[in-house]
Amino acid sequence: MFDTIYIGTSGLLNNAKGLRVVGNNLANVNTPGFKSSQLQFASLFEQNGGSPAQSDASGNQAHSGAGMTVAGTQINFRAGLEQGTGNPLDLAVNGNGFYVVKRGDDLLYTREGDFQFDAKNVLVNSSGDHVQGFDNGVLSDITLDKLERSAPKATSSVTLRGELSLTAASSTTPVVDQTLSGVTVLDANGVDHPVSLSFHHDGNGSFTVTVKDSANAVVKTGTIKFAAGAAVAGSDSLTFSYTPPGGSATPLKLDFSKLTSVAASTAPIAMDSQDGYEAGVKTDQTFDDKGVLNVQYSNGQKATGPRIALADFVTGSALQEAGGSAFRKADGAKVFYGNAGTSSFGTIASGKREGSNVDLAEEFGNLILMQRGYQAASHVVSTANDMIQQLFDMKGNR
């Protein structure tokens, strides 16, 4: 009779453990990247010290149950619901990949994608773990240290557009030079040194170009030619070495290929583009669907940084819980590292995160099962106790 109490007690203890697992799942229903668990129960049988099992006359074994135990906790790695956050650094994996994070000296793996750059410009998750990326094929922290600023670039090419007038000179009407001032030319430090240009029609579609700096000093002169209204190849540009005030010499090309010649100009000459830019500061950073860090700067330039590393495992049993929605690799398990957009790792969606995969309907069903299991085990203990009490009462009433 006492063994029946032990059996009932095992039901009480282990159903209480199951209730704890269900309670933990429900408590983390809103935890990003959380993976629900399910307690695995197993039955116990009497041990005969290695002797063969005894059978009755009908051949049935005479073993009886010895209660229940816990065989372990199984983690459900089903993907959670994708949630839009609007934060470009929040990322969700569409596939089998896990983010690789470093907690102290340990490498952990998670599906939680709540990321941000900390005060040291290192990408971290909500637990403060350092998100790992690939730097020349080696796992390392993802940092903005080398991407905070965009270095300036000196202007090497200026393109002009518009129309040049072919009006010929006469005894009463001299040729009027067409001019353009304020043409942007940047030096190696990103400082603007405006220059001006004048175009003098020499006749027969030929123009003399004069380039002057901000002090009105002539920097360069040259000739461009037009045929049938278009600049003639080979004479449609002017290349020279330009030395800005207080700066060093830099090669500069004035491109006139977009200029046209007409009898009477209606489109004034203007600067179409120039390839120099000033220094810029970081204004935004995002990750693309392949996990590459993209940085934008105030000067309109862009740069790419490290690529987020992803990990994949053959089976879910290769991972063990480490807290903070993260997992560590089990001893002897194999891990495969790779990039988003390749193999089975999946792609990355920016501005989204993966929520908990807790199924409320399933968990409330498990909650009822654990409650009823606990209740049934308590009745077994109570009934066995009543039977023992009756046995004691038999002696007392003798």
Residue with the bigger pLDDT between 68 and 150: it is: 150
What is the percentage of the chain residues whose pLDDT exceeds 90? 67
pLDDT at residue 48, as a whole number? 52
DSSP class of residue 7 equals: H
* Predicted confidence (pLDDT) per residue in 81-108, tens digit: 999 998 999 999 999 999 999 999 999 9
- The one-letter amino acid code at 224 reads I
Residues 213 and 197: beta-carbon distance below 8 Å = no
What distance in Å separates the CA atoms of residue 287 and residue 111, rounded to the nearest whole number?
16
DSSP class of residue 285 equals: E
pLDDT at residue 64, as a whole number? 66
Residue with the bigger pLDDT between 278 and 2: it is: 278
Band of pLDDT at residue 50, cut at 50, 70 and 90: very low
Q: Is the pTM of this model over 0.95?
A: no
* Predicted confidence (pLDDT) per residue in 126-171, tens digit: 999 999 999 888 999 999 999 999 999 999 999 999 999 887 655 5
Q: Could you give the 3-state DSSP secondary structure of residue 281?
A: strand
pLDDT at residue 21, as a whole number? 94
Q: Whole-angstrom distance between the N-terminal and C-terminal Cα of the chain?
A: 21
Ordered structural domains, the chain, with CATH = 2-50+62-77+358-396 (no CATH), 82-149+281-354 (no CATH), 157-274 (2.60.98.20)
- Share in percent of the chain as helix, strand, coil (round to 5): 15, 45, 40
What distance in Å separates the CA atoms of residue 342 and residue 95, rounded to the nearest whole number?
10
Closest CA to 189 of 273, 239, 245, 148: 245
* Predicted confidence (pLDDT) per residue in 264-277, tens digit: 878 899 999 999 99
Closest CA to 368 of 49, 8, 24, 15: 15
CB atoms within 10 A of CB 103: 18
* Helix 360-396 with 2-27: angle, nearest 10 deg: 160
